[in-house]
Homo-oligomer: A and B are copies of this chain.
Amino acid sequence: MDGVVQYVRRPGIVDLGWGHPDPGSLPTGEWAEATGEALRRFGWTALTYGAGAGPGPLIEWLRANLAEVDAAAPRASEVFVTGGASQGLEMVCALLARPGDVVLVDAPTYHLALRIIADREVDLRPAPTDDGGILPAGTEELIRRLDSEGHRVAFVYLVPTYGNPTGASLDGNRRRELVEVAARTGTTLVEDDTYRELTYEARAPRSLWSIAAGGPVVRLGSFAKTVAPGLRLGWITADRSFVRRLVDRGFVDSGGGVNHLAAVTMAQFGASGRYARHVRTVRELYRTRRDALVGAVRGQVPGARFRVPDGGWFLWLGLPAGVDARSLLAGAERAGVSYLPGNRFHLDPGAGSDRLRLSFSLLAPDALAEGAQRLGRVIAGAVAAAQL
């Protein structure tokens, strides 16, 4: 629908670029039911100015849910309900960073988070990384060097669990070391934890927030991937003094809870069992799609290098030597397939051109297979041309 959604359909193109949910999975009927129930259950309190940190019943439900899907549950005073992870990150930037501060980010990392952080007029720099993600010792060294040069490092942003774009997760040792580095250097970690519940093999790794146990981690959660992005609903766990600062923002004091009706409706969606059922369904759906894309890429894309993602929505595909993700794009689109070049996920415009991000969330298995086939032909052509 033109002018209603972000998504733009391009006829003839299998577009693996969109990190958007499967339209068929979005719970239109169930959300309507939950809304009716919430408006009966909460009455007028669902429609007036809501509690600043979010409604108590949603916070209680979130605590119970996090006790299941993470290694620790927050206290009620450690939760703030947001208008989605992006809106949450905007608030976190306002509180933690001042214009001119340095913010370190994982590399590669979620490209649109870079834009949110840049809006705070900070100096964005990549943290040191290798194939396993961010390097704690190197990050500590960098923070200390920046500090000695008179810079203030406002925070470190990363997506350590089923990351965007890599689909990979930071291992347990690095998680612990990174939290220790944060504590030692007095640096806050901003943990984008929006893919935690889309896990296809095992339980997700414990969050940095749970490891820090009240320490310097602000964790961003979301209902965009588990339920629906259009709700604009998410949450933050952080220590209670930080939550108090969020509640104390002028616009929250004035308008009350950031997305109150959606929040009380989610409390009902959770309490009624719909959330648990829905997450089971989408987990199965996206696992199937991941398997479809992985199988098709393996079979159809010559020289494909990738790790099978354990969760999330993305396959981070390494290209054969000599093939550049950006140069390939126009030809790929002429051949009827699209993707995001790896460069988009790096601050350094020269980095990541040997990779591309393929999303398996939006499209059905048939389309994923067709996309992989087209991509395979285009890459084979590029390899052949490079060898001429």
A249 to B5, CA, bound (A): 17
Q: Is A11 interfacial (CB-CB < 8 Å)?
A: no
List the B side residues contacting A39 at CB < 8 Å: 28-29, 31-32
List the B side residues contacting A232 at CB < 8 Å: 83, 255-262
> Of B26, B90, B250, B258, which one neighbours A48 at CB under 8 angstroms?
B26
B85 and A255 contact, CB distance less than 8 A: yes
A43 to B46, CA, bound (A): 23
Q: Is A228 interfacial (CB-CB < 8 Å)?
A: yes
List the B side residues contacting A44 at CB < 8 Å: 23-24, 26, 28
> Of B32, B50, B84, which one neighbours A5 at CB under 8 angstroms?
B50
Contact status of A6 and B229, CB under 8 A, knowing A253-B112, A254-B113: no
Residue-by-residue, is A44-77 near B (CB-CB < 8 Å gives 1, otherwise 0)? 1111111110011101000000000000000000
A47 and B20 contact, CB distance less than 8 A: no
A261 and B262 contact, CB distance less than 8 A: yes
Which of the 9-residue segments A114-122, A200-208, A322-330 touches chain B? A114-122
Residue-by-residue, is A155-195 near B (CB-CB < 8 Å gives 1, otherwise 0)? 00000000000000000000000000000000000000000
A7 to chain B, nearest CB (A): 7
> Of B85, B254, B261, which one neighbours A112 at CB under 8 angstroms?
B254
Q: Is A372 interfacial (CB-CB < 8 Å)?
A: no
List the B side residues contacting A83 at CB < 8 Å: 83, 87, 232, 255, 258-259
Contact status of A28 and B47, CB under 8 A, knowing A116-B251, A259-B232: yes
Interface size for A (C-beta < 8 A) is 75
A256 and B6 contact, CB distance less than 8 A: yes
A231 to B254, CA, bound (A): 14
User: Taking each of A5, A24, A253, A261, which has the highest tally of chain B beta carbons within 10 Å of its own beta carbon?
Assistant: A5
Q: Is A388 interfacial (CB-CB < 8 Å)?
A: no
Q: Is A264 interfacial (CB-CB < 8 Å)?
A: yes
B48 and A23 contact, CB distance less than 8 A: yes
Q: Is A99 interfacial (CB-CB < 8 Å)?
A: yes
List the B side residues contacting A250 at CB < 8 Å: 86, 90, 112-119
Binding site for B on A (CB under 8 A): 1-7, 20-21, 23-24, 26-29, 31-32, 35-36, 39-40, 42-52, 55-57, 59, 83-87, 89-90, 94, 98-99, 112-119, 224, 228-232, 249-262, 264
Cross-chain pairs A/B with CB under 8 angstroms, 21 sampled: A3-B51, A3-B55, A4-B45, A4-B51, A4-B264, A5-B256, A6-B48, A6-B257, A20-B48, A23-B43, A31-B47, A32-B36, A87-B258, A90-B251, A112-B253, A114-B250, A115-B254, A116-B254, A224-B255, A230-B256, A232-B258
